[in-house]
């Protein structure tokens, strides 16, 4: 193990290198990030034995990964914002064809207006593509999640995405433990798919299915996604035993006795944990539930926390136009048929990279305590809006 | 937690300076993070970069608004950038200039601690960049190590050697020269 100070993009590139993909296909220009640049260098200098395919669009990048993965090899790609949107059709194909492709998305806002900054709209918009989605909160986790994602994806035969915040992780250097190749190899064995395209053995993938058969294929995907929930828990535990860093579907921070719990995905959760400690120093019982796996959705973990909390706040760094944020509506959905009966307030914040400081998070926690005592006055509230109200 | 903000212009190496401080601090057991201002980069334009150091794991993931140290690589920025914005009461300013700390303090109109180093002269002497456009970042990192007392000269030089893309020895020498020539009155 080597400890290095590297960016989130460097961490993701190292995670991909250690997972030994045989094919990396990527579009090299904006909105591409330096992840691909670093991997191209590793391939060219012999550090990574893989075929690097430079393609003319992100749509083609995913098409190349699909074709390569069909031949029975591990593949990887990375993209961001509009590049991920352009991939949409092929993201559907990858999950439908049950190909455990792993990619990294650098979370960025969608234009217009043009923006290159942190926002979860690009990946939230891909919620229904059948991909497992992991939101990471540190550079270490960006590296670890790629290795872990391959193991989960290859167990349930679904593709997986590791998602890191633009700039806040992608361009920020942090101390990262880079595991030894041998340790990674012992954790992640070579990819051995049940079916693969071979020259001389014709086989069809993804052909036409009549209405009598289609639903069963979709049901199998739904079952695999449900199975992924337990696989993530098991593999996350095994990861902890091998590398000393354990991961689950969520990370709970001081939720055991919390009166208010803020649910967050991504690196803002890390800052929020710092703020929870400040609030606790003042005797205010706040907690954070960080969603690491958004797909599959950790509804059991959310129900558990809701059992003892008085109010749940949900932080969404995206919006769905019509009814708050996606995580907000899903948390409410998870609670409706449960024993929990508590108010949920949805905060929309940090869109287009607006910086989420401890001060902003503190105001959110204070608003949660106010809502706990005085009732939720606004179910969905945009935080820090320059609307002249001076509220935030 | 110690928070440092660097002000330079594109091409002077402010971002790499923030990284060199982080790498040196990491080698001395600090948890670190280093990042540029989240924006769009252009040569010659004002550049801001940040470093955080802590003995505990750093969980704060946002930009720095109330730094403990402000490091100014180019005094031409004083006309356009509010370099002292948010500087803590106990904060320290390190400036690349041939002026004395007292003169610089008057120019900055501040009551904070001001320290100066002629990083430009040190860079030119060590043949870093051209005399019209010297690369002053490694000298300023050496000066920072000295005034902050946070980093040893050895770990600073090692970090400079690791991260300087070219002329590694000259850059390490510039850091050492600055470490020895930084002035405070």
CB contact under 8 A, B60 and A270: yes
Confidence (pLDDT) at B184: 72
Domain B2-184 is found in CATH 3.40.920.10? yes
Give the ranges where chain A is alpha helix by DSSP (H): 8-18, 34-44, 58-70, 81-96, 121-124, 139-156, 181-187, 211-243, 268-281, 299-308, 326-336, 358-374
Please, are residues A121 and A109 in contact by the beta-carbon 8 Å criterion? yes
Angstrom distance (rounded) from CA B141 to CA A74: 43
Domain A2-243 belongs to what architecture?
3-Layer(aba) Sandwich (3.40)
What kind and span of H or E run contains B21?
A: helix B14-27
Exposed / middle / buried, residue A348 (Cβ in 10 Å: 0-12, 13-18, 19+):
buried
Please, are residues B63 and B33 in contact by the beta-carbon 8 Å criterion? no
Please, are residues A80 and A163 in contact by the beta-carbon 8 Å criterion? no
Mean confidence (pLDDT) of chain A:
97
**For B145-170, how does the pLDDT look when each residue is reduced to its tens digit (9 = 90+)?**
999 999 999 999 999 999 999 999 99
CA-nearest residue of chain B to A358? B60
Gap from B80 CA to chain A (nearest CA, Å): 23
Grouping H, G, I as helix, E, B as strand and the rest as coil, residue A41 is helix
Angstrom distance (rounded) from CA B117 to CA B122: 9
- A5 interaction partners in chain B (CB closer than 8 Å): 19, 22-23, 26, 32, 34
Taking residues A103-129, report their average pLDDT.
97
Percent of chain A with pLDDT over 70: 100
DSSP A300-356: HHHHHHHHH-SEEEEEESS--SSSS-HHHHHHHHHHHTSS----EEEEE--GGG---
CB contact under 8 A, B38 and A173: no
Angstrom distance (rounded) from CA B1 to CA B25: 12
- pTM to 2 decimals? 0.96
CA-nearest residue of chain A to B37? A167
CB contact under 8 A, B65 and A353: no
Residues facing A319 on adjacent strands = none
Per DSSP bridges, beta strands A102-107 and A75-80 are parallel
Per DSSP bridges, beta strands A2-7 and A173-178 are antiparallel
- B33 interaction partners in chain A (CB closer than 8 Å): 172-174
Angstrom distance (rounded) from CA A103 to CA A95: 13
Domain spans of chain A, in order of start: 2-243, 250-382
pLDDT at B177 exceeding the cut of 90 = yes
From residue A77, alpha-carbon distances to A106, A119, A242 in Å are 11, 20, 26
Query: Which residue carries 């395919």 as its tokens?
Result: A53
Cβ neighbours around B32 below 10 Å, total:
24
**For A218-248, how does the pLDDT look when each residue is reduced to its tens digit (9 = 90+)?**
999 999 999 999 999 999 999 999 999 999 9
**For A40-75, how does the pLDDT look when each residue is reduced to its tens digit (9 = 90+)?**
999 999 999 999 999 999 999 999 999 999 999 999
Confidence at B185, pLDDT banded by 50, 70, 90: low
Confidence (pLDDT) at A321: 85
Please, are residues A146 and A89 in contact by the beta-carbon 8 Å criterion? no
Please, are residues A262 and A364 in contact by the beta-carbon 8 Å criterion? yes
- B62 interaction partners in chain A (CB closer than 8 Å): 168, 271, 355-358
- A273 interaction partners in chain B (CB closer than 8 Å): 59
Domain spans of chain B, in order of start: 2-184
Query: Which residue carries 């430009």 as its tokens?
Result: B120
pLDDT at B90 exceeding the cut of 70 = yes
To probe the interface with B, which of A174, A271, A360 has the most B CB atoms within 10 Å? A174
As a whole number of Å, the end-to-end CA separation of chain B is: 27
Per DSSP bridges, beta strands A260-265 and A286-291 are parallel
Q: Using CA of residue A189, residue A191, residue A193, residue A199, what is the dihedral sign?
A: negative
Grouping H, G, I as helix, E, B as strand and the rest as coil, residue B71 is strand
- The answer for residues whose C-beta is within 8 angstroms of residue A10's C-beta and 6 or more apart is A4, A34, A38, A139, A173, A176
Please, are residues A95 and A156 in contact by the beta-carbon 8 Å criterion? no
CB contact under 8 A, A173 and B35: yes
DSSP code at position B75: G
**For A162-206, how does the pLDDT look when each residue is reduced to its tens digit (9 = 90+)?**
999 999 999 999 999 999 999 999 999 999 998 999 999 988 888
Exposed / middle / buried, residue A338 (Cβ in 10 Å: 0-12, 13-18, 19+):
middle
CB contact under 8 A, B32 and A175: yes
**Domain A250-382 CATH class label:** alpha beta
CB-nearest partner of B60 from A3, A171, A274: A274
- The answer for residues whose C-beta is within 8 angstroms of residue A66's C-beta and 6 or more apart is A90, A93, A94, A97, A99, A101
Please, are residues A100 and A153 in contact by the beta-carbon 8 Å criterion? yes
CA-nearest residue of chain B to A171? B35
Mean pLDDT is lowest, of A319-323, A388-392, B40-44, for: B40-44
Grouping H, G, I as helix, E, B as strand and the rest as coil, residue B16 is helix
Angstrom distance (rounded) from CA A79 to CA B86: 36
Taking residues A279-302, report their average pLDDT.
98
- The answer for residues whose C-beta is within 8 angstroms of residue A222's C-beta and 6 or more apart is none
Chain B interface residues facing chain A, Cβ-Cβ under 8 Å? 19, 22-23, 26, 31-36, 38, 40, 58-63, 65
Please, are residues A312 and A306 in contact by the beta-carbon 8 Å criterion? yes
- B40 interaction partners in chain A (CB closer than 8 Å): 116
Tokens of A227: 């199975």
As a whole number of Å, the end-to-end CA separation of chain A is: 45
Chain A interface residues facing chain B, Cβ-Cβ under 8 Å? 3, 5, 116-118, 137, 165-169, 171-175, 267-268, 270-271, 273-274, 353, 355-358
CA-nearest residue of chain A to B61? A271
Which pairs count as long-range contacts for A228-234, CB under 8 Å and 24+ apart, including other chains? A228/A132, A228/A152, A228/A155, A228/A156, A228/A158, A228/A293, A228/A296, A229/A293, A229/A296, A229/A298, A229/A300, A231/A152, A231/A155, A231/A156, A232/A132, A232/A152, A232/A293, A232/A296
Angstrom distance (rounded) from CA A384 to CA A381: 10
Confidence (pLDDT) at A360: 97
pLDDT at A141 exceeding the cut of 70 = yes
- A178 interaction partners in chain B (CB closer than 8 Å): none
pLDDT at B25 exceeding the cut of 80 = yes
Gap from A324 CA to chain B (nearest CA, Å): 24
DSSP A186-243: HHSPPP--S---BTTB---SS----HHHHHHHHHHHHHHHHHHHHHHHHHHHHHHHHH
- A355 interaction partners in chain B (CB closer than 8 Å): 38, 62-63
Angstrom distance (rounded) from CA A169 to CA A117: 11
Confidence at A147, pLDDT banded by 50, 70, 90: very high
């Amino acid at each position: 193990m080597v400890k290095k100070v590297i960016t989130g993009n460097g961490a993701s590139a190292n995670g991909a290198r250690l997972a030994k993909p045989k094919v990396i296909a990527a579009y090299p220009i904006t909105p591409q990030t330096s992840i691909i640049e670093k991997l191209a260098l590793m391939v060219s200098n012999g550090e990574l034995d893989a075929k690097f395919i430079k393609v003319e669009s992100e749509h083609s990048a995913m098409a190349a990964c699909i074709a390569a993965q069909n031949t029975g090899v591990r593949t990887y790609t990375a993209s961001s914002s509009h590049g991920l949107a352009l991939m949409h059709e092929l993201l559907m194909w990858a999950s439908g064809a049950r190909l455990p492709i792993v990619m990294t998305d650098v979370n960025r806002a969608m234009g217009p207006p043009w923006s290159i900054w942190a926002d979860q709209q690009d990946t939230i918009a891909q919620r229904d593509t059948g991909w497992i989605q992991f939101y990471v909160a540190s550079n270490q986790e960006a590296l670890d999640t790629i290795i872990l994602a391959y193991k989960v994806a290859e167990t349930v035969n679904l593709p997986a995405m590791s998602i890191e915040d633009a700039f806040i992780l992608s361009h920020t250097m942090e101390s990262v433990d880079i595991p030894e190749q041998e340790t990674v190899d012992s954790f992640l064995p070579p990819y051995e798919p049940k079916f693969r395209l071979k020259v001389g053995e014709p086989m069809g993938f993804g052909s036409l299915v009549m209405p009598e058969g289609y639903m069963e294929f979709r049901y199998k995907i739904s079952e695999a996604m449900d199975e992924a929930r337990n696989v993530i828990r098991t593999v996350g535990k095994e990861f902890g035993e091998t590398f000393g860093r354990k991961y689950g579907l969520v990370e709970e921070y001081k939720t055991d006795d919390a009166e208010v719990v803020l649910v967050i995905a991504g690196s803002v959760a890390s800052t929020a944990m710092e703020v929870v400690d400040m609030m606790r120093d003042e005797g205010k019982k706040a907690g954070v539930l960080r969603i690491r796996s958004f797909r599959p959705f950790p509804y059991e973990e959310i129900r558990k926390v809701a059992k003892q909390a008085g109010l749940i706040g949900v932080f969404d760094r995206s919006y769905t136009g019509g009814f708050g944020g996606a995580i907000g509506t899903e948390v409410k959905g998870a609670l409706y048929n449960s024993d929990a009966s508590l108010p949920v307030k949805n905060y929309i914040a940090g869109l287009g990279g607006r910086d989420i400081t401890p001060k902003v998070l503190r105001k959110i926690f204070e608003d949660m305590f106010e809502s706990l005592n005085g009732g939720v006055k606004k179910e969905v509230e945009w935080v820090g809006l320059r609307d002249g109200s001076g509220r935030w | 937690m110690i928070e440092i903000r660097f002000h330079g212009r594109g091409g002077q190496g402010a971002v790499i300076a923030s990284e060199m401080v982080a790498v040196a601090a990491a080698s001395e057991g600090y948890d670190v993070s280093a990042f540029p201002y989240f924006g769009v980069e252009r040569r010659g334009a004002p550049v801001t970069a940040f470093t955080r150091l802590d003995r505990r794991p750093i969980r704060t993931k946002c930009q720095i608004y109330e730094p403990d140290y402000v490091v100014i690589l180019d005094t031409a920025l004083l006309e356009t950038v509010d370099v002292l914005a948010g500087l803590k009461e106990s904060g320290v300013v390190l400036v690349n200039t041939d002026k004395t700390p007292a003169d610089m303090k008057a120019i900055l109109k501040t009551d904070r601690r001001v320290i100066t180093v002629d990083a430009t002269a040190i860079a030119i002497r060590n043949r870093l960049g051209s005399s019209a456009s010297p690369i002053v970042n490694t000298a300023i990192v050496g000066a920072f190590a000295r005034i902050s007392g946070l980093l040893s000269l050895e770990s600073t030089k090692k970090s400079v050697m690791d991260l300087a893309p070219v002329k590694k020895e000259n850059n390490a020498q510039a850091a050492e020269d600055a470490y020895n020539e930084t002035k405070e009155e």
